[in-house]
Amino acid sequence: MEFLGEYGLFLAKAVTVLVVVLLTIAAVASASSRAQGDKKARLKVEKLNDEYEDHKSTLEQEILTREQLKERDKEEKKRLKSEKKAAGKGKSIAKPKPRVYILNFDGDIKASAVDTFRDSVTALLQVADAQLDEVVVRLESGGGMVHSYGLAAAQLDRIKKAGLNLTVAVDKVAASGGYMMACVADKIIASPFAIVGSIGVVAQMPNFHRLLQKNDIDYEVLTAGEYKRTLTLFGENTEKGREKFRRDLEDTHVLFKHYVAERRPQVDIEKVANGDIWFGTKALEEKLVDEIMTSDEYISNRVQNVDVYEIEFKEKKSIADKLGFAVSSGIERALGKYISETESTKGMR
């Protein structure tokens, strides 16, 4: 056991030195990165037609006979030759081909994805043709902060104001703030068991006033303005404050209902705006969605006829972030190894 104690002490010293060195490097790298003005996100564009064609070709290579593959290649060459010939006889200026732009939004309670989502919207609006193109947003969100999801929904409103056709696809969930975003679309598609709705507002917080009072701890809340604070975590909440908070929630709910009703007038808003949720097929009955279909099916169908591009801004991790992750992983592995060896020795005694 004395050996293990010495080994643990040595390990702790080694880890401490390693952490100090890596943190120093990370600080220098971070400062250098800021000085160079590196962008934290980079635009990534992927043509899904090529991806689908690659998958199809790979599968055919495995399941078709050599003769069938030769026949396929022959037919493909004939098709390309025919298209080239037709293009030569046609107008000198080729007719623009419709495009579909795929965006993804995976929302947390803060709608953090809006930071890069807004950049994706800005990028596509610079190139999209309102007469030809369509935007498809694959949306997943159970909702969250009102102001955050209000900003996210406003990004979709930008697409609509530009005159582009907008489709929102919900595979799993678009509830509360998520549905606030979805209702902006010209068309909402949802998988059969996707969760949709929750057109309501909720707020909750603990209050520790009685615990502090029990331990003779005073907590002062000083305000200027009658309603600067209504409910607090540590102060004594009053019925007047609670009533004001309830009115604020009701006002927010009214705004939410108006927002949905304005964008989906076919919905009986008083019936569905009770905070309840519906699965995809029931949501279709309530006209909360327009069609039952997965995003995969919808995109596969579109790939057959038009060029489909998936675009998104990918956040680039800084060197400091990478080193921080490496440090934490290294410490976990080192401590895990030490604990494992200690437990193993105990078992051998």
Catalytic residues: 176, 228
Read off φ and ψ for residue 279, nearest 5 degrees: -80, 160
Q: How far apart are CA 278 and CA 260, in angstroms?
A: 16
Q: How far apart are CA 278 and CA 170, in angstroms?
A: 13
Residue 84, CA atoms < 13 Å, CB-side half-sphere: 6
Residue 306 CB contacts under 8 Å (≥ 6 apart), including other chains:
97, 98, 99, 100, 134
111: left (phi over 0), alpha (psi -120 to 50) or beta: left
The three-state secondary structure class of 313 is strand
Nearest to 196 by CA among 153, 159, 143: 143
Q: How many residues does the chain have?
A: 349
What are the DSSP calls for 92-110, one per residue?
SSPPPPPEEEEEEEE--TT
Q: How far apart are CA 190 and CA 280, in angstroms?
A: 6
Task: Please give the radius of gyration of the chain, using alpha carbons only, rounded to the nearest integer.
Answer: 29
Sign of CA pseudo-dihedral 73, 76, 77, 78: positive
Residue 207 CB contacts under 8 Å (≥ 6 apart), including other chains:
231, 232, 233, 234, 237
Read off φ and ψ for residue 225, nearest 5 degrees: 120, 125
Q: How far apart are CA 150 and CA 56, in angstroms?
A: 41
